A = this chain, B = another copy of it.
Amino acid sequence: MRPSGRARDQLRPIVLETDVNKYAEGSCLARFGDTHVLCTASLIDAVPPWLRNSGRGWVTAEYGMLPRSTDSRVDREAARGKQSGRTQEIQRLIGRALRAVTDLTGFGERQIKLDCDVLQADGGTRTAAITGAYVALHHCFQHMQRFGAVKAIPLREPVAAVSCGLYEGEAVLDLDYAEDSRAQADANFVLTASGGIVEVQATAEQDPFSRAQYDLLLELAEAGVRDLVTHQRAALGLD
């Protein structure tokens, strides 16, 4: 039934590869099928002005798409002179998701900037970005730990994200672009390894959907995130 032939509850092939950038303190190339997002974590020895002398650090994110990451080339945001509303919405989401599992008092007055750049897009770029950014962030803290900048990794538990949607009346996991563009409803779930809800964004693309349908989507997401967390732990060498 799905264009890709996947089962309703089947993720695309997931590859999380670390150490993909020579300079970044942490990095991860996250592939969800043909969606490829390059995530880097950059350690900056200064916090935003409103956190100075607070003893706390900060984690923030930026997001971008290469012009030909998509089927039809999109204009370069740097050339247009501003980031779209969609871009800003996504980078705010990534930042909130990662801060929700980070102990901001645990790494001094430093800032970690997560850059999530989409090299190729086939649906679900924001969920791949969150999943990869977690790996890059953890990777960055491992680097800081090696150099004594932190004693323990200041992350409470893994966080990952996946989209679910109603496609031809059925709830399916991890929509690719062919599904996403025709879905009746589309929901992005950011969940923790222990099943806690960090963020839900659910949108009826056509008719409103029911609470029962919503519950099906959430159940798919819970299973999907458990799977993604396993990939994250493997990529970080934690198993």
Closest to A82 in B: B81
Given A197-B211, A201-B201, also A78-B87 (CB < 8 A): yes
By a CB distance below 8 angstroms, the chain B residues around A69 are 21, 23
Closest to A29 in B: B119
Given A122-B22, A197-B210, also A83-B79 (CB < 8 A): yes
- Interface pick from A88-96, A125-133, A141-149: A88-96
Provide the A90-129 mask, 1 if CB < 8 A to any CB of B, else 0.
0110001000110000000000010101011010000000
- Across the interface, A73 reaches (CB within 8 A) one of B79, B84, B113, B198, namely B113
Copies of the protein in its oligomer? 6
A76 near B115: Cβ-Cβ < 8 Å: yes
Q: Does A170 touch B at the CB level, under 8 Å?
A: no
Q: Does A207 touch B at the CB level, under 8 Å?
A: yes
Smallest distance from the beta carbon of A218 to chain B beta carbons, Å?
7
- Interface pick from A48-56, A60-68, A230-238: A60-68
Closest to A87 in B: B78
In the assembled complex, the Cα of A208 lies from the Cα of B204 at a distance in Å of 24
- Across the interface, A204 reaches (CB within 8 A) one of B76, B92, B196, namely B196
| A interface: dominant SS | mixed
Provide the A199-233 mask, 1 if CB < 8 A to any CB of B, else 0.
11111101111110110001000000000000000
In the assembled complex, the Cα of A22 lies from the Cα of B119 at a distance in Å of 10
In the assembled complex, the Cα of A92 lies from the Cα of B42 at a distance in Å of 30
By a CB distance below 8 angstroms, the chain B residues around A187 are 200
Smallest distance from the beta carbon of A149 to chain B beta carbons, Å?
17
A68 near B83: Cβ-Cβ < 8 Å: no
In the assembled complex, the Cα of A100 lies from the Cα of B204 at a distance in Å of 7
Q: Does A71 touch B at the CB level, under 8 Å?
A: yes
Q: Does A192 touch B at the CB level, under 8 Å?
A: yes
Q: Does A38 touch B at the CB level, under 8 Å?
A: yes
Q: Does A24 touch B at the CB level, under 8 Å?
A: yes
Q: 10 nearest interchain CB pairs? A: A196-B208, A85-B88, A77-B78, A40-B68, A42-B73, A200-B202, A78-B78, A89-B89, A24-B68, A67-B115
